[in-house]
Amino acid sequence: MLLRWECMEEFFDPLALARWQFGLTTLYHFIFVPLTIGMALMAAIMQTAWFRTKDLKYLRLTRLFGKIFLINFAMGVVTGIVQEFQFGMNWSEYSRFVGDVFGAPLAIEGLAAFFLEATFIGLWIFGWDKLPRLAHLLCIWMVFFASAMSAYFILAANAFMQNPVGYTMNAERGRAELTSLWEVLSNPVVLAAFPHTILAAIMFAATVMIAVAAWHLRRNQHLETMRTALKAGLWTNVLAFMGVGLSGDQLSLAMVDAQPMKMAAAEGLYETTSAASFSIFTLGTPDGASELFSIRIPHLLSLLSTHTLDGEVEGINNLQAQYVTQFGPGDYSPIIWITYWAFRWMIGLGAFSALISLLMLWLTRKNAPQRSALVQDRLWRVLIWTAPLPMAASLVGWIFTEMGRQPWIVFGLMKTEAAVSPNVAGWQVAVSLAAFTAIYGILAVVEFKLIVKAAQEGPPEITQGDGEDAEPDSLAIVY
Amino acid sequence: MDIEQIWFALVAFFFIGYFVLDGFDFGVGMALPLLGRDDTDRRVMINTIGPVWDLNETWVIVAGAVLFAAFPEWYASLFSGFYLPLLLILLALILRGVSFEYRHQRKHPEWAARFDLMIIIGSFLPAFLWGVAFANIVRGVPMDADHQVSISLFGLLNPYGLLGGATMVLLCLVHGMIFIALKTEGEIRVRARSMVLRFMVPTIAVAATFLLWTVAMHVEVAHLGWIIALAGLAASSLVAAGLFSLGGREGFAFFAMALSIASAVATLFVSLFPNVMPSTTTPEGTLTIINASSSEYTLGVMLWVALITTPLVIGYQAWTYWVFRRRLGRDHILAATH
């Protein structure tokens, strides 16, 4: 009996379950966040185009992507509450330890950004015929602005976990305390992570827009509006990817500075090396300790880490030895195969998506040679099925960022294992993990079907005069 | 006034804002089966809160974040200690939120009925469990010297906790029905008004019992006068809301009801003060506004943030309510369907 109980205890390990729960709910939340941010921008640009040109095709597109935005945003809100509550529910020791520092950006996010976003979303969705056109247009811009600001504060909070700054240790109370809010908000990690994340979010919204356009163009319908949407989406995706790359480069530098172990783990570089090469692909033993085959680009890792061809990149073994003297005995490296592959998939998926868009821009250029119907059909299908690539890249990017920080929850200050709530039993976390997994799973299916349905219905027919003297209130009935 | 006291008041302010605002959303959700005769009625009801439920719900996120920033120990003890009720609240809020968006997506009666049920449950459970949770915070929970709470879900469902839950449910329900009377026209408005009156007497009875019990638990507290005053304000404004409803003054009834909920929640916070979470087992485990709070620097800089943003928040949210001030009726729904 005792033995069985111990087995159960091990199975219901609160730490492991809480980590799985945080990982799953965060990744799930982050499917909706980028779509909210990116779609708000797309809708804002379309509505601005309509406002300026009075061309109804832009209004139709605004309405269509506004509808997709609406289906998506409720999920973003409700899954976001889970994120905030989870710090206290599952990570109470973490909350006690860093609440003084970490709570500040979260509270600012709520007070300054989240309220703004929630209010103006309501005004935009329900206010079509209730507000003057310019005021209504400003509402969607406000939504984008607020959601981007919201992202900034959350990323600043996360940046503190990667690179703690602006704090002091209070030994008496055993916690970190804020000494400079400015330093926390201007953490070099957040300065690079913010454009990186926002532009990746815009890529995702762009590929969704491309996919919707491709679906209709493949069926030869809504040609005028959808050609516009396609062009806008393709250009946005390519341009945003360039920004993602540049900011990613800055983020690498900040990361090498703050968390050299993460960069070493991204390459699986065990020994400190000058003029380090970067492997695109490696076949090795499962533990990553020895390699059988790899494709390598010389000097690239040094270039990424130091912006010089022959710069020195610290290796996992050297850093491990250094951390043992600094923090005491323990294993200070993350799970190498996860960081190694997550880093590559992040870059690869994002780049592949941008490449497809670039190719399509060339293929759909003016006076492009006529293609056979079959080839054209295939091209549309490629665009439809590659829509999730930027989202997948963002998700593995987060897996890299967070797994690469392990075993720390706050780098150098607190280990993840010390952060979990001691008074929440394993079975309770198992119950919540099961509940979230089940509900999130079902909702994902419903959500996906509804978005696909809305996208396939296409832009609404709008005749001249609608939106100006449409039947009073009819546009305000949304539910 | 110490900065910890100011922050205690601010935390109370954000939770009061949450219960006053999302309170009528919960009430509208719970009233679906009481007032909605058919799908059109239910759509009228849901659309009255359509533009605002999201921003109302945001108040709980901000209240939680403010609690985290100003009183991390309180946040950590409360949220880990009340794990299962908070989980149920989260799940209920998720189902309610998505149901608003999903129910109209298909024109199938069964599809809508399923989401109506989720809106009803998703409105009842959070109201009930928040009531249970706040009553238990006031009552005190078993907490050791490290401020670790150990109480089961059934431990929270003690008589005082259950009464707190029932009070919150009834207050929200009446609040929601007064809101519907204020925001609709035609038959549904009339029905809402008579239903408010029917629920008024039991609500007054339950709320008064709960408030009296709360006062009785704190007879030895130095600031008992404040507790009695706020409890009295809560009870009398509840009665006033009933009288205004009887007289057909829906706007006044709504503000009286909002005042009643606000002062009822304020009663709980003032009863707590200067503790934030009393321990029933270990006196040194009790969390106070001093041992639960953040550093002076954090409280100071965040106070500036709160002082700058909160008036703006109140301003643009009030403007939203102004923009959507018009009453809704069945005609609007039918016009939008065609």
- Do A264 and A254 lie in one domain? The reply is no
Contact list in A for residue B103 (CB cut-off 8 A) is: 479
B54 chain-A contacts, CB cut-off 8 A: 73-74, 77, 118, 121-122
Q: Is the dihedral of CA B144, B147, B153, B157 positive or negative?
A: positive
Given this model, what pLDDT does residue A463 score?
65
Residue A8 pLDDT > 70, yes or no? no
The overall longest dimension of chain A from CA atoms, in Å, is 78
Cross-chain Cβ contact A100/B84 below 8 Å: no
CB contact under 8 A, A75 and B60: no
Is A7 part of a structural domain of the chain? no
B191 touches chain A (CB under 8 A): no
Residue A305 has a pLDDT of 83
Question: Same domain for A98 and A111?
Answer: yes
Q: Quote ipTM for the complex.
A: 0.90
Mean pLDDT to the nearest integer, A384-402:
94
Residue A290: pLDDT over 90: no
Higher pLDDT among residues A306 and A479, named by residue: A306
Same domain, residue pair A254 and A291:
no
Predicted confidence band of residue A289 (pLDDT cuts 50, 70, 90): low
Give B291: exposed, middle or buried? Use CB within 10 Å, 0-12, 13-18, 19+.
middle
* pLDDT over threshold 70, residue A332: yes
Contact A130 B324 (CB under 8 A): yes
Is the Cβ pair A121, B306 closer than 8 Å? no
A279 and A186 in one domain? no
A368, A422 contact by CB (below 8 A): no
Please report whether residue A467 resides in a domain. Answer: no
> Please, which residues 94-113 of chain B have a Cβ atom closer than 8 Å to chain A?
94-95, 97-98, 100-105
Predicted confidence band of residue A310 (pLDDT cuts 50, 70, 90): confident
Smallest CA-to-CA distance from A233 within A43, A42, A377 is with A42
Pair (A304, A432) in one structural domain: no
**C-alpha to C-alpha distances, A15 to A12, A18, A268, A419, B332, nearest whole angstrom:** 9, 5, 26, 9, 52
Amino acid B336: pLDDT:
75
Tell me if A193 is assigned to some domain: yes
Give the least confident one: A159-163, A323-327, B16-20, B331-335. B331-335
Whether the per-residue pLDDT at A402 is higher than 90: the answer is yes
Q: Token pair of A219, please?
A: 């069926």
Task: Please tell me the distance from the alpha carbon of residue A196 to that of residue A282, in angstroms, as a whole number.
Answer: 26
**Domain end: A300, A324, A348, which one?**
A324
**Structure confidence at residue A469 (pLDDT):** 43
- The pLDDT score that the predictor gives to residue A291 is 66
**pLDDT digit string (tens) for A439-467?**
999 988 988 888 898 888 888 877 655 44
Query: Position of tokens 């849901």?
Result: B46
pLDDT at A284: 64
Digit-coded pLDDT (tens) for A28-48: 999 988 988 999 999 999 999
As a whole number, the mean pLDDT across chain A is 87
Write down the pLDDT at residue A475.
47
Give the number of domains in chain A.
2
Domain ranges of chain B: 3-188+275-337
Global model pTM greater than 0.80: yes
| A163 lies in the same domain as A65 | yes
Mean pLDDT of A110-132: 88
Q: How confident is the model at residue B125, as a pLDDT?
A: 96
Residues A246, A174, single domain; the answer is yes
A192 has a pLDDT exceeding 60: yes
Final residue in a domain of this structure, among A304, A324, A344: A324
The verdict on A224 and A269 lying in the same domain is no
**pLDDT-based confidence at residue A1 (cuts at 50, 70, 90):** very low
Range of the domain at A121: 16-259+334-456
Mean pLDDT over A199-221 rounds to: 92
Q: What is the pLDDT of residue A5?
A: 56
Residues of chain B falling short of pLDDT 50: none
Q: Tell me: do A355 and A229 sit in the same domain.
A: yes
Evaluate whether residue A367 is within a structural domain.
yes
Quickly state the pLDDT bin for A473 (edges 50, 70, 90): very low
Q: Residue A473 and residue B328: Cβ atoms within 8 Å?
A: yes
Nearest chain A Cα distance for residue B262, angstroms: 20
Same domain for A349 and A235: yes
A72/A210 same-domain check: yes
Provide the residue type at B204 as one letter: I
**Is 50 exceeded by the pLDDT of residue A470?**
no
Q: Does B335 touch chain A (CB under 8 A)?
A: yes
Q: Which residue has the higher pLDDT, A174 or A7?
A: A174
Split at pLDDT 50, 70, 90, the class of A3 is: low
- Both A273 and A235 in a single domain? no
Out of A104, A106, A109, the one facing B298 most closely (by C-beta) is: A104
Contact A95, B86 (CB under 8 A): no
What is the count of residue pairs from A and B with beta carbons less than 8 Å apart?
Answer: 241
